[in-house]
Amino acid sequence: MLQQSQNLAYGEAIDAISRFLAKPPAGMPADVIQAFDALGAKGFLPPKLFLETVEQAPIAISITDPNARILYVNKAFEELTGYPREQVVGQNESKLSSHSTPVSVYQELWQTIQDKRVWRGSLVNLRKNGEEYLAELVISPVLGSNNKIEYFLGMHRDKTDIHQLEQRLKFQKALTEAALVAAPMVIAMLDSDRKVLMDNNAYKALLGDFRGKEPAHLFLEALIQQDGFDPSKVCKEGNCFTNVEVRIDPPGRDVSPRWFVCSGVHVAEMDEAAQNYFKTQQERRCCLLLVANEVTERRNRINDARLNMIRATMTEQQMLQTMRESISAAVFKLQGPFNMMKAALSMQADAQNLQMVLQQAMQTGEEALQSLRAAIPDNVEELESSVNINEILHEVLRLSTEKLLASGIVVDWRPSTLSPTLAGRAYGLRSLFKSLIDNAIHSLNESDQKQPEIRLDIHVEDDELVLEVMDNGPGIPANLRLKVFEPFYCGWQKASEHAGMGLTMAQEVVNDHQGSIQIDPDFLGGCRVFVRLPVMDSED
Ligand code: FAD
């Protein structure tokens, strides 16, 4: 009896599938049609063989009457649901319902299929053993010759695993994004063209601080310039770098430098295109995950300590310098009377006594001169190192802050966003810049300028670093532009603490660096000093 009803059901199944294939309804997913074609269903196979192939199909197939009463199920259906076909044939498809699917979904399903359209969606089903699974379904109406619905063809597969994976992925993504966004460090992912693919809140805040200039680009430029980092190597060799400290000079006026500790990790670019499925890691384009932690505060504390040390050393140096200058001046001045005495002696004056006295005076004077010369402190030779001019100018300005504020002088300086570096002697260069800035301050103090201003500019010109120090004070007359570099020349009205050695010493430092110093003869409305220093060769 069962066999007979089954044979009947098989006949109907072949009929249903053949009709379905003869005129697949609009909206039927192409992969379903292809699957049946692959089974050789288009009438090329004898009915029995065709049914056999449907039987063996790896997707759960069921055929129902217009009320969803099951007429036929294949083996995959039996395996997926756990129901042998004799337990479901004649039953409604609702037998599979776990009652967790909202009624609205069924309503929409029925509305669609009764409208002779294909429904595609997900339902929560129950296996015979009571286990729930998520079914991905395609239900298609099969029409008779009178264009009335005669059957429904249902196909479904278990997508619980995919759903779980999707949920896990969503969770992981949400977790990663939340962690990324909330992370206090600056995070950005860059592709090989340095385009920022992803960033976080800390990065966005920095973008604002840097006035729209891409922070990642400033980091990369600083890493290349200050640490010889090669971004292309990160991709080619899969290298990563950790805890590299860089200094960033944000764009804009009067903006202090900021310090960051950077790390970078190579990440193969996610390429979803099917053609890239078999590509190896090396063949994929490379991205760089850049993580930067701001350490400006810590660095400022270190810098303050360093500045205090420099201040102490400079005071000591200045003391020595003043001593040298004073003793040298004394020696220079003493030399005059001696010369006169020498001349008097050579004239062989009659009075023998006078000669004796003069000779004694000469001898004592010579001894005094000798001891004065011996008392001139040695010039301590400073070793050459890689010097960042931005940094030195910052330090000098900070050392001069009190004087500048007291004189109401405005300093206009836009540090170069790149850090110009040269091989030099830091203390020497610091004294050089300090004496130029001190001179500018002094000249403005002696002028009646209502808006005293000092402008500084650094740029690189023909392998030379050019520093311009400009003030809007009285300037230096043409006849004194060379004389001011002579030792002991002092043109200030109030010269009490000056021995006239500042520019002489500046000239010495510049010579020591194979550079040049010049007072611009064409500058109107103040004084402009050019200091040119050769830039360090990158291979040095
Ligand atoms: P029901 O009262 O049967 O249906 C809920 C709502 O669906 C009703 O309120 C009504 O709006 C609508 N509805 C139900 N039957 C009809 C109808 N004959 N005509 C018009 N509207 C109707 N369900 C599953 O849960 N899992 C499956 O795997 C599944 N596969 C199916 C395969 C095919 C080929 C077809 C045609 C239907 C399938 N269904 C499946 C739907 C199933 O027939 C039931 O409608 C559903 O399970 C809800 O059953 P129920 O007893 O909870 O509520």
Name the residue at shortest CA distance from atom 1 of ligand 1.
94
Any idea what the Cα angle at residue 191 is, between residues 190 and 196, rounded to 5°?
A: 40
- In sequence order, what are the beta bridge partners of 456? 413, 469
Which residues have a Cβ under 8 Å from the Cβ of 176 and sit 6 or more positions away? none
Which residue type occupies 506?
A
Name the residue at shortest CA distance from atom 4 of ligand 1.
106
Instruction: List pocket residues of ligand 1, CB cut-off 6 Å.
Output: 62, 64, 67-68, 92-94, 96-97, 101, 103, 106-107, 110, 114, 123, 125, 135, 137, 139, 152, 154, 156
Distance 68 CA to ligand 1 centre (A): 7
Distance 18 CA to ligand 1 centre (A): 24
Kindly give the number of the ligand 1 atom that is closest to the alpha carbon of 106.
Answer: 7
Which stretches within 289-380 are classed as H helix? 296-346, 352-375
Distance 56 CA to ligand 1 centre (A): 26
Name the residue at shortest CA distance from atom 17 of ligand 1.
67
Please state the separation of Cα 499 from the chain's center in Å.
50
Residue 519: strand, helix, or coil? strand
> Model confidence over 316-341: pLDDT tens digits?
777 777 777 777 777 777 777 777 77
Which pLDDT belongs to residue 280?
67
Which pLDDT belongs to residue 313?
75
Whole-angstrom distance, CA of residue 24 vs CA of residue 18: 10
- The four Cα atoms 477, 479, 481, 485 give a dihedral, to 10 degrees, of -130
- Residue 196 has phi, psi (to 5 degrees) of -80, 115
Q: Determine contact, residues 41/21, Cβ cutoff 8 Å.
A: yes
Name the residue at shortest CA distance from atom 23 of ligand 1.
94
Which pLDDT belongs to residue 82?
97
Q: Determine contact, residues 537/519, Cβ cutoff 8 Å.
A: no
Which pLDDT belongs to residue 281?
60
Which pLDDT belongs to residue 200?
93
> Model confidence over 489-540: pLDDT tens digits?
888 877 656 567 788 889 999 999 999 999 999 998 899 999 999 886 544 4
Which pLDDT belongs to residue 116?
93
Kindly give the number of the ligand 1 atom that is closest to the alpha carbon of 94.
Answer: 47
Which pLDDT belongs to residue 530?
96
Tokens of 231: 């971004």
Distance 160 CA to ligand 1 centre (A): 21
Which pLDDT belongs to residue 376?
73
Residue 152: strand, helix, or coil? strand
Q: Determine contact, residues 401/469, Cβ cutoff 8 Å.
A: no
Q: What is the 3-state secondary structure (H, E, C) of 396-455?
A: HHHHCHHHHHHCCCEEEECCCCCCCEEEECHHHHHHHHHHHHHHHHHHHHHCCCCCCEEE
Name the residue at shortest CA distance from atom 38 of ligand 1.
93
Q: Select from 63, 97, 159 the residue to mutate for testing ligand 1; criterion: most ligand atoms less than 8 Å from CB.
A: 97
Which residue type occupies 241?
F
What pTM value is reported for the model?
A: 0.54
* Positions of the chain with pLDDT under 50: 1-5, 7-8, 538-540
Distance 515 CA to ligand 1 centre (A): 91
Which pLDDT belongs to residue 8?
47
Name the residue at shortest CA distance from atom 30 of ligand 1.
93
Which pLDDT belongs to residue 486?
87
Kindly give the number of the ligand 1 atom that is closest to the alpha carbon of 152.
Answer: 34
Residue of 146, 92, 145, 149 lying closest to 115 (CA atoms): 149
Kindly give the number of the ligand 1 atom that is closest to the alpha carbon of 98.
Answer: 25
